[in-house]
Copies of this chain bind each other. A is one copy, B any other.
């Protein structure tokens, strides 16, 4: 039998993959015993291992995995963490066979994750089908599980036994026999309660929990909001599959913020320390965005070329002020909106209020800046610099254009991240550099139209 399986491995399984005939592959494999298929995993080229694993019915896959000895299991898991394998899973999901891949049951998830180091967990959770940057990809299965019928004494005894295997013993999770989460007890409560009290009498029966698919930022926001040491994660059948501990949440929170910082500065995010990254990789993380922004600035050049041929040359002097101020106003709004969205303090339905607010702030800023610009142009450029071409009419043109640019920049700066969020993308892509590039071109159009109307 084993011989036959080996034959199958080298010929048929790989051929099934190459032909993308995953449905027949699945049928062929499940005809064997899980113990034999377990060995087959190890014989397969690494890139097909995880694909096959995810393809099998969940209970069958679990049995295959559990049938392996610890060493093989570890090696299999280590092979899962290789970066190139991620794409295999992505491919499976993009394939129309996605519906044959079922969600892993809670006990399988727990068994698999237990063998993994903290570093491998994120990758493995992702491979198990949890989306990147979700609660599922952040959780650990090393929690203390109690039953409602236990006494405090029994619970403390249980904690003593499992403490070394648990990431935290300070929050314990009470489940029913179906592993469904029904309550939470803290170690503090256990310590101050009499030994014969039942867990069901002291547990908090309305625990806050999240589903595996919830995005990482929301998980972090919940932990921060309530000051939790850990947050339970349940699958779509409300069974407890893991917990997110505060130290992992802190790391995730930091990563999320640094990603936003990078995006706001038009850098591809990386979680490596600056001093340790070679020059070539720093270059690669920056140059694509610089090139993109360089190309987009062509819009402004073309606008300026039309402008120049049609209007007095003196107007060009104020282009940097106009563009700079427009860009700064847009950045202020976009950063405010992006961070509020990230921190969860801005529900997407509040978009109309935000736009109205930015319109009001923009009107006030526009007015103040227009007055300042008028004074600056008249005093500095006309009188101090003594430029005779800077007439009062020019100053008014600049001032009016600035006011309008500011209002529009504020609204665009707030609206674009909100719009991007609504279609389900990361609002931080609409950060300062892109807002600035858009506002730059737009401010030139406004300036051009106003100058043409007033001066010609």
Q: Which residues of A contact B (CB under 8 A)?
A: 156, 159-160, 163-164, 169-170, 187-188, 191-192, 223-224, 227, 229, 246-247, 249-251, 253-254, 257-258, 260-262, 264-267, 273-275, 279-280, 282-283, 286-287, 289-291, 293-295, 297-298, 300-302, 304-305, 308, 313, 316-321, 323-325, 327-329, 331-332, 334-337, 339-340, 343, 345-346, 350, 353-354, 357, 360-361, 364-365, 368-369, 372-373, 376, 380-381, 385, 387, 432-433, 436-437, 440, 444
B308 near A316: Cβ-Cβ < 8 Å: yes
A283: contacting residue among B328, B350, B365, CB under 8 A: B365
Best-buried of A164, A262, A364 by chain B (most CB within 10 Å): A364
**Measured CA separation A332–B261 after assembly (Å):** 10
> Chain B residue with minimal CB distance to A353?
B275
A325: contacting residue among B294, B336, B365, CB under 8 A: B294
A156: contacting residue among B191, B253, B372, CB under 8 A: B191
Question: A376 contacts which chain B residues (CB < 8 A)?
Answer: 294-295, 298
5 A-B pairs whose Cβ atoms sit less than 8 Å apart in the complex: A257-B257, A274-B337, A279-B361, A286-B361, A308-B316
Question: A327 contacts which chain B residues (CB < 8 A)?
Answer: 436
Query: Contacts A336-B274, A361-B282; is A300 near B320 (CB within 8 Å)?
Result: yes
7 new A-B contacts, CB < 8 A, other than A160-B191, A250-B250, A294-B325, are A170-B229, A229-B229, A274-B336, A294-B369, A294-B373, A295-B372, A304-B320
Question: A372 contacts which chain B residues (CB < 8 A)?
Answer: 291, 294-295
Question: A267 contacts which chain B residues (CB < 8 A)?
Answer: 332, 335-336
**Measured CA separation A368–B290 after assembly (Å):** 10
Question: A301 contacts which chain B residues (CB < 8 A)?
Answer: 317-318, 320-321, 380-381
Query: Contacts A156-B191, A273-B345, A279-B360; is A320 near B297 (CB within 8 Å)?
Result: yes
B436 near A324: Cβ-Cβ < 8 Å: yes
A227: contacting residue among B247, B300, B436, CB under 8 A: B247
> Chain B residue with minimal CB distance to A221?
B254
Question: A365 contacts which chain B residues (CB < 8 A)?
Answer: 283, 286-287, 290
Shortest CB-to-CB span from A273 to chain B, Å, is 4
B437 near A302: Cβ-Cβ < 8 Å: no
A339: contacting residue among B258, B318, B364, CB under 8 A: B258
> Chain B residue with minimal CB distance to A159?
B191
**Measured CA separation A313–B317 after assembly (Å):** 12
B364 near A287: Cβ-Cβ < 8 Å: yes
B305 near A381: Cβ-Cβ < 8 Å: yes
**Measured CA separation A265–B335 after assembly (Å):** 7
**Measured CA separation A373–B290 after assembly (Å):** 11
A328: contacting residue among B191, B293, B354, CB under 8 A: B293
Question: A436 contacts which chain B residues (CB < 8 A)?
Answer: 324, 327
> Chain B residue with minimal CB distance to A156?
B191
A289 near B328: Cβ-Cβ < 8 Å: yes
Question: A385 contacts which chain B residues (CB < 8 A)?
Answer: 302, 305
Q: Which 7 A-B pairs have the closest CB atoms?
A: A227-B247, A265-B335, A300-B320, A297-B321, A257-B257, A283-B364, A273-B345
Shortest CB-to-CB span from A384 to chain B, Å, is 9
A163: contacting residue among B191, B334, B340, B357, CB under 8 A: B191
A321: contacting residue among B246, B247, B298, CB under 8 A: B298
**Measured CA separation A275–B339 after assembly (Å):** 12
Best-buried of A320, A324, A437 by chain B (most CB within 10 Å): A320
Shortest CB-to-CB span from A295 to chain B, Å, is 7
A264 near B266: Cβ-Cβ < 8 Å: no
Question: A187 contacts which chain B residues (CB < 8 A)?
Answer: 169-170, 187, 191
Shortest CB-to-CB span from A321 to chain B, Å, is 4
